[in-house]
Chain A
Amino acid sequence: MLSAIAGLQPRQLAAQVLNFALVLSTAFMLWKGLSVATDSSSPIVVVLSGSMEPAFQRGDLLFLWNRGAETQVGEVVVYNVRGKDIPIVHRVIRKFGGGSAPLQLLTKGDNNAADDTELYARGQNFLDREKDVVGSVLGYVPFVGYVTILLSEYPWLKTAMLGFMALTVVLQRE
């Protein structure tokens, strides 16, 4: 199999490598294109906890939209806690400011007993719409995101999958 690759003309080899590189770069640029369109750094997220049941279950795939910053009470937003890089999906239950003043939000998980002030960073009592929120939930696909939960909980699955993919790409022509 390797002899078949060694026997290629330099240009054929370059074209073969290019095919593989284009698959990766196209996937990445599609993701970035979606980021640009939604104005969100992470336009698709997976629900990791059951704190929003029964609206969202663990493993649901959420599509976010971050244009039009006038978030309303009742909207479900995804935010990052300052200093931590874990996105949290919760519902807005109070809002302050807005218009010319910076918009401030208080959130709560539907399935949680108390609001999120406990979850926020030390000394933080509200979310800043501009800085903390990644986007509002526009739509969702149930269960599909479970694959990524499995991959992050069982890291050997990731290794196995990458190895398998690399092998097929190397051994296949066309």
Chain B
Amino acid sequence: MAETKISPYSLPDLKNTTDDALGNYLRGIGFKQDNTKTDVKLVVGYTAVAIAGATFVADYKLGWEATKGWTAVAVAAYAILNGFFTYWLWFVEKGLVFEGSKDGKRVSIQSKTNKHDPTYYLDVTTSSSSSTPSTRQIKTPFTTWFTADGYFVAKPFQQWIASSIEAVGDVDQKSALRDERDELAAPGPQTKLTASASLGETQDVAETTSKSSKKAKKRG
């Protein structure tokens, strides 16, 4: 799938291809997918469709007069189910791409794009048995992993995911880039040391510039 050529100017194509790749990648490195939310959606949706289908058959075979009362009930039930379906889609799933866990660490990822903006936004919620769930938004332009003629390149994409989501980086360590992982890590003793040593401002600036230039080299 990832090898298929897409139109790099079509935002839905970019998003759908990336969504599919994200699921494949996480399943590939051993995350066990949890499909509960999708299953709820499918059951509710297909129940609604079944009700509409039954109403159609009853109407076709028995006519309006005989089915009036039941049609009213069916319409009410359909409206409720469809309302719940819409609520689930907008407020619970909210563009859910992957939900799963590995080694007790749970990851839930929702994706979205904004109109006329070729940037991939991910809302990542991570949790484990010991910590409370925390949500973070990460974003990167699609050009990072799409070639100009519309081919998806897995490596930079996987590096981005592994570097910016800790739970994934722990599993797929060879994809996780060291310097970005450092930025992610909680302030450790080293940071405290630099702070307590009260380094001059100039030195601080020099350090950040060297860091960013290193990153730029790696990207290029």
Contact = CB atoms under 8 A, between A and B. Distances in A.
B12 A26 contact: no
A35 B1 contact: no
A39 B75 CA distance: 13
Given A3-B4, A11-B42, A21 B49 contact: yes
Interface residues of A, number: 24
B210 to A, nearest CB: 44
A24 B74 CA distance: 16
Interface residues of B, number: 32
B31 interface: no
Contacts of B12: 173-174
Contacts of B16: 173-174
Contacts of B7: none
A11 B23 CA distance: 12
A28 interface: yes
B56 interface: yes
Contact of A36 (B45, B53, B72, B82): B72
A4 B38 contact: no
Secondary structure at the A interface, as helix, strand, loop or mixed, is: helix
A148 B137 CA distance: 50
A123 interface: no
A11 B37 CA distance: 11
A32 B55 contact: yes
Contact of A18 (B46, B56, B78): B46
Contact of B23 (A4, A9, A21, A41): A9
Given A7-B1, A18-B42, A173-B12, A28 B52 contact: yes
Given A15-B42, A36-B72, A36-B75, A28 B35 contact: no
Interface string B14-58: 001000100100000000000100110110011011001101100
B42 A14 contact: yes
A22 interface: yes
Indicate the member of A9, A14, A21, A32 with the most B CB atoms within 10 Å. A32
Contact of A29 (B1, B39, B42, B55): B55
Given A22-B48, A36-B68, 13 more contacts: A7-B1, A18-B42, A18-B49, A21-B49, A22-B45, A25-B48, A29-B55, A29-B79, A29-B82, A32-B55, A39-B68, A41-B64, A173-B12
24 contacts: A4-B1, A7-B1, A7-B20, A9-B23, A15-B38, A15-B45, A18-B42, A18-B46, A22-B48, A25-B52, A25-B53, A26-B52, A28-B56, A29-B52, A29-B74, A29-B82, A32-B55, A32-B74, A35-B64, A35-B71, A36-B72, A36-B75, A41-B64, A174-B16
Interface of A: 3-4, 7-9, 11, 14-15, 18, 21-22, 24-26, 28-29, 32-33, 35-36, 39, 41, 173-174
Interface of B: 1, 4, 12, 16, 20, 23, 35, 38-39, 41-42, 45-46, 48-49, 52-53, 55-56, 59, 63-65, 68, 71-72, 74-75, 78-79, 82, 85
